[in-house]
Structure formats: C-alpha cells, structure tokens
Amino acid sequence: MLSRDEYLAAWSHWHGGTDPADSRLVHGWLTLAYTLAVPVARLSPLVATALGLVVAGAAVGPAAAGGAWLVLSGVLVGLSGLLDSLDGALAIAGGRASRRGFVLDSAVDRLTEVAYALAFWAAGAPGWLAAAFGALCWLPDYLRARAGQAGVSETGAISVWERPTRVAMAGLTLGGAGVVAGLGLAVEVVTAGAAVGCLLGVVGTAQLGVQLRRALAD
C-alpha cells in the first residue's frame, strides 16, 4: 500500500492534476477512504464498486416507506458514498488502478446518483426537482469528460458540487427528513434538500464552466 500522501498524489494524477487540498471536504473524504482501505487492502476494488451500487439502490426502498425509515435511507446513501471512495483507494493505493477501472468507477458513480434522485422522488420530492438534482449530479462530470476529449488535460479546481458534497447532501437530507418525520415535515425537508442541492449544482457547474472556458480558449 502507498502511504497516505503518496495515495493523495496518485489520486491527483488520476484526476487531471486536481489538488485534493483545495477542499477540506474532499481531502477529508479521501483521507477517510484511505484509512478504511488499509485494513482491507486485499479486497478487490470491483467488489467495493459493486457493493456501493447495490447499497445505493437499496436506499430507494426505505425512502419510499417514509417515516423513520428515511433515516436508514440516508445512512445507506452515506455508506454507498464511502464504498465508492473505498474502491478508488483500494485501486490507487494498492497499485491496481487502471483506465478500465477508472471508467467503470465513473459509470457506477452516475448510476448511484440516479438512485439518490429516485430516493428523493420516492420520499416525496416533486419529480421534476428530483430529476433536476440527478441531472446536476451528472453535468459537471460530463463537462469534464467532453473537455478532456477536446484536449483539456486538467479537470479544473474543485467546485462546491463535487462527489462528496452530493453524497453528503443526499444522505443528510434523507436522514434529516426521517428525524423530523414524526412532526409531519419529512416531505418538506426532502424537497428543501433537493432544492438546495440543485442550487449548489448550478453554482458548481458555473464554477467549472468558467474554468473550462478559459482552458478551452488557450
């Protein structure tokens, strides 16, 4: 296994030179993933990837059940995010990273974000708002991928709407809705959380768009 600093440097290499130190949330998220990966270093990254997708899908059921079950839905969303980061830590820190695994991991990330949007809708958020949340989870990474095809080697600085923020927003919203479900406010909390997530998504996409516009103009 690589050391933590070596892992962070390797992660930066795989993500277009992005420095995780630019965001305390991202840096802390990656550090947690590395810490979890050390004792299970022999676990296949593909197993962690598959488990992350299954757990994300499992969050939809408790969200549909509503009430206190929403707490479980929020926990499952958070766990899916940790599993997603764990697979990357196992691959990179264990020297098993590959382009195929990188693409597969990105595809699974998008599928888990579909599950988050479905969980919001199942918990009572308007369909259009849940769909907008899901779309804004996809859009930044789509822009980065297209910019890469256009020859941009850097992915741009970390925005306010990176993967850890999306996971935290979805998990805390669903879990918080479960906590206040007894007051009859679950739907309002889920709707508000989805709306705040969309706002962050718009801001983050705008940040990224400005950075990529400059890079594409060079």
Determine the pLDDT at residue 64: 98
Determine the pLDDT at residue 163: 92
Q: How far apart are CA 71 and CA 163, in angstroms?
A: 21
∠ Cα 74 126 194 (to 5°): 45
pLDDT in tens, the chain (218 residues): 889 999 999 988 888 788 888 888 889 999 999 999 999 988 999 999 999 999 999 999 999 999 999 999 999 999 999 998 999 899 998 888 888 888 898 999 999 999 999 999 999 999 999 999 999 999 999 998 898 888 887 766 789 999 999 999 999 999 999 999 999 999 999 999 999 999 999 999 999 999 888 888 86
Q: How far apart are CA 150 and CA 78, in angstroms?
A: 34
Q: How far apart are CA 144 and CA 18, in angstroms?
A: 12
The per-residue DSSP string of 101-141 comes to HHHHHHHHHHHHHHHHHHHHHHTT--HHHHHHHHHHHHHHH
Place of tokens 């103009």: 217
Determine the pLDDT at residue 156: 64
Q: How far apart are CA 127 and CA 122, in angstroms?
A: 9
Determine the pLDDT at residue 155: 67
**The pTM is what?**
0.91
Determine the pLDDT at residue 107: 93
